[in-house]
Amino acid sequence: MRPKFRLIDLPRRADARGSLTFGQDGDHVPFAVKRFFLIRDVPPGASRGGHAHRAQHQLLMMPAGAVTITVHDGRDQTMVRIDRPDLALYAPPMLWLDLTNVTAGAVCLVLASDVYEEMDYIRDRDEFFALTKEE
């Protein structure tokens, strides 16, 4: 069975003081978070991602700005635009992600299910397609 990404609408509370968006383990984050990182200061025309993970789950959010995320499962490809802080993309393992069309001043927050481990990364597109072809 091919892994399926999904979009998650995060709760948003607004009043005269501003807006608050939140998520919590089990309700909005479908895995225990062991690491986070921020992608920012992406030059115009540059892309990020360009890899898949063997075992790691990720949740990608845009606290500021917007990004187009191309999700590929080895057979099908879908493009998703994340352009508000209360929308997140859940990416289970074995999905190839490319982040493009990043707006100026954008910040992408990524929650990950494990610590950084280079062996978890698939950085060669041909290797990814060979691994997903077997499914």
Say yes or no to pLDDT of 135 above 80: no
pLDDT at 6: 93
CB 90 within 8 A of CB 42: no
For 35-47, letters b (16+ CB in 10 Å) and e give eeeebeebeeeee
Put simply, whether the predicted model's pTM sits higher than 0.85 gets the answer yes
Say yes or no to pLDDT of 127 above 80: yes
pLDDT 10s digits, 11-25:
999 999 999 999 888
132 phi and psi, to 5 degrees? -80, -20
Of the pLDDT bands very low, low, confident and very high (cuts 50, 70, 90), residue 26 is: confident
pLDDT 10s digits, 34-85:
999 999 999 999 999 999 999 999 999 999 999 999 999 999 999 999 999 9
Domains within the chain, CATH numbers bracketed: 6-133 (2.60.120.10)
Radius of gyration of the chain (CA): 15
Say yes or no to pLDDT of 134 above 90: no
Residues near 124 by beta carbon (within 8 Å), at least 6 away in sequence:
none
